[in-house]
Structure 1
Amino acid sequence: MPTLNEHTAQTFQEFLSFADMGQTDDDSAVWFRGTGNSSYSLSPSIHRHSSINDSTKLFEIEKKLITRFKERSVPYLTYRLEDAWELLFLMQHYGMPTRLLDWTENPLIALFFALSSARQNSAGTYDNDAAVWVLSPAKWNRCVFRHNSYQGGAMSPTESMVSSYAPSKEYQYMHEHPVALLGIHNSPRIVAQRGSFCLFGKSLQPMEQIYTANNFEDDTLKKIIIPASKITEILNKLTWMGITDAVIYPDLEGLAKETKRLFGFSV
């Protein structure tokens, strides 16, 4: 079984060296996910229900959420959504609980997410390290679908092997482990953030536990830790390089966040 490699980046340059996995094409491409607390697991929002921890029940809840969202979203949309995949990705975009876990193709965007979401204490410093996860979608999917002799990379929702994960399918036919999935770019934020996703199956285990318990290739998944003492320094470096809220969130909310940071307010 593989071990989960962790690296600590003390500087922006060290982060870039760890994020560089020699990616040159779709086969060697890697994805990134930033988190403001390095102890957080790789689990989707629907797995964080306060009282339900049964995967069958959570899948049924997701179906009900999709139905409710479809019924109530009509006045706010310029066109009617009928496709279950489109509904699922749009729900994820607006913060509804789903089996989707956000990733990005851009390491700097993931680093910004990690550092900007880290919580400051009353003294204005940080108590917890931040982290950026690094995933090879090709290696991940090849292991998950090894029984199909799969040799491709990240999948599209339209591919036949992904059909068992669809919200409209029956639970018993779903795969056990998450699939690395290219999302539907149905919002400016997903485009700006170079969004990609992992869609979970039956298992409630976080991805890091699935990785260490199964026969994945080495470095399919790894973790870059940014020490709490370095968060401000590296975040300022990112901002200076033009990676800001308004770039990540190309709307008025992003502009407001960026302006608040510029004038020393917490975001």
Structure 2
Amino acid sequence: MSMELTEDELLQKIKQQALLENLICIDDFIEIYQGKEIMNMKVEEKKNHIKKFIDNKIYPLLQSGEPYQDFSVKDYGDLSREGSDYNPGSYEIQKKYLIKENVRVEFITNVNEFLNKFYSKYRNEALQKVILLKDELESNKKISEFNKREEIKITEDDVYTELQSNLKYIYYRGHDSMNYSLLPSIYREKYIKYENEMYFELISRRPDSFVNSNKHIDILRKMQHYGMATRLLDITSNPLIGLFFAVSINRELDGELTIFKLESKHLKNNNSDTVEILSALATQSFEKKKEIVKVAREYADKILEITGTAENDLTDALIKDFNEVRCIKLLLHEIRQTVGDFDGIINPSHLFNCLFVRTLQDNDRIIRQDGLFVITGLPSEEKDDLYQEGIKKKIEEFRLKADVDYGMESNNTITRYIVPAVNKYQIQVDLSLMGVNERYVYPELESVAKYIKNEYSKK
């Protein structure tokens, strides 16, 4: 796990990650990248080592101005008191966090407390909406002897139905380290440069496994299931499943539950043409993707200039011309290799989409995990690194914004839900009591056997 970076190399890594994530745990960074150096340190010695690094490296960085002038160093106590109306715990946590001013932190230390607090806001919103609807119905009633005797009542079913509607487009992802980049695996470790090679090699080595996969999204889903790096990001509609993944792997690092909130237009089904187009990007070489970015950006900008005018014929003509460009024709040809009757016309702006995909519930793991995916398209800008920063920004747009109740602008401020390492074990125990454990989340025989063996090893 440790990469044994020097302090200057570690600082450079933190600088890059801070701009990408806006919040990192300094202690965990040092634990990961200088693990061997601090492994045998006593608690006080380790604490002094981290303090020295912050004093000598982090504070001078913050004083250097752009682009770090909006960051500050805060500890657990500082963050847990800001905008929090419950006591997160009586113990002292020594960890230090580098945080940007537009980020607000909620610490999850107890499953029930988190759920009660998180859902109470949406229940109150649902109740208020039902009350307003009742008032509107009352004011619009015809005045008659019958209606005078009639009273429109608010029921729990009414509120619950509205609550379900409010929560319909909220999704979750848990990961064991809050320093984890919220990116599909293909964008980590430069895999993006070899995406098409990895894609076709796996199919060529195990063609029998993909015989019944009729679409590129189905192929990607299967690859994701077996651990291949893809442009898909697993998410869930169940917060307990999200918490499970935040606490069940590494108990030394602070975990995170990422919460997404989206509009219905961003949620697609497995048979969506746009989803298939984005999935087929996996078949294109690194250089071909860069070519597609360039030409798609050019046409998308032209279309944007005339959007909203009466020149709809011109818009249609531009889209038609775009689909005649060679790299786009090749992409359409690839789609038709699996979807023979695909007759779609690609809108250049759709190639830059980031979509949430409600896929087929065709295996026990997806069913148990209430699983769906985020699929990422191309970055909006043409860059050599193709495209970590641009893709990250697209995904971040869906992260749940902070409540205006805390005096923050909801369109600028995000909430990060952090699970302190010291709380992970208890949360994992509580989730298991609720039926969410490895045996449930991974229903395959091998996983269940591993779970049972681990349970008996504790005896």
User: What band does the TM-score fall into relative to the shorter chain?
Assistant: 0.7 to 0.9
Matches within 5 A, 1:175-254: 175-203=351-379, 204-205=388-389, 209-210=393-394, 218=401, 222-254=415-447
The answer to whether the Cα contact below 8 Å between 2:256 and 2:417 also exists between their aligned partners in 1 is yes
1:25 Cα deviation from its structure 2 partner: 2.7
> Residues 213-246 of structure 1: CA distance to partner in whole angstroms, max 9, x if unpaired?
x698835964311111111111111112211111
Counterparts of 2:363 and 2:206 in 1: how far apart (Å)? 15
Counterparts of 1:162 and 1:105 in 2: how far apart (Å)? 19
The answer to whether the Cα contact below 8 Å between 2:259 and 2:399 also exists between their aligned partners in 1 is no
> Residues 147-171 of structure 1: CA distance to partner in whole angstroms, max 9, x if unpaired?
xxxx635112432443441315863
SS at structure 2 position matched to 1:128: coil
Q: 1:211 to 1:84 in 2, by over 3 A?
A: closer
- 1:145 aligned partner: none
- 1:159 aligned partner: 272
SS at structure 1 position matched to 2:352: coil
Which blocks of at least 5 consecutive residues in structure 2 are unaligned?
1-100, 123-162, 297-349, 380-387, 403-410
Alignment match of 1:135 (pick from 260, 268, 277): 260
Larger helix fraction of residues: 2
Q: 1:238 to 1:249 in 2, by over 3 A?
A: same
Counterparts of 2:429 and 2:362 in 1: how far apart (Å)? 31
- 1:41 aligned partner: 181
Counterparts of 2:445 and 2:400 in 1: how far apart (Å)? 43
Counterparts of 1:12 and 1:27 in 2: how far apart (Å)? 18
Q: 1:135 to 1:166 in 2, by over 3 A?
A: same
1:136 Cα deviation from its structure 2 partner: 1.3
Higher relative contact order (CA 8 A, sep 6+): 1
Counterparts of 2:270 and 2:398 in 1: how far apart (Å)? 25
What TM-score comes out, normalization by structure 1 length? 0.75
Q: 1:165 to 1:211 in 2, by over 3 A?
A: closer
Q: 1:197 to 1:244 in 2, by over 3 A?
A: same
Q: 1:216 to 1:244 in 2, by over 3 A?
A: closer
Q: Does 1:87 align with 2:87?
A: no
Counterparts of 1:192 and 1:255 in 2: how far apart (Å)? 13
What TM-score comes out, normalization by structure 2 length? 0.46
Counterparts of 2:400 and 2:416 in 1: how far apart (Å)? 15
Q: Which amino acid aligns with 1:198?
A: V
1:18 Cα deviation from its structure 2 partner: 5.1
Counterparts of 1:205 and 1:74 in 2: how far apart (Å)? 34
SS at structure 2 position matched to 1:41: coil
Q: Single out whichever of 126-135 and 9-18 deviates more from structure 2.
A: 9-18
The answer to whether the Cα contact below 8 Å between 1:35 and 1:132 also exists between their aligned partners in 2 is yes
> Residues 54-89 of structure 1: CA distance to partner in whole angstroms, max 9, x if unpaired?
xxxx2x632232222222223456x44342221111
Counterparts of 1:259 and 1:215 in 2: how far apart (Å)? 38
- 2:206 aligned partner: 73
Q: Let me know the Cα RMSD of the aligned residues.
A: 3.1
Counterparts of 1:216 and 1:254 in 2: how far apart (Å)? 31
1:38 Cα deviation from its structure 2 partner: 1.2
Which blocks of at least 5 consecutive residues in structure 1 are unaligned?
119-125, 139-150
Counterparts of 2:220 and 2:352 in 1: how far apart (Å)? 19
Q: Which amino acid aligns with 1:225?
A: I
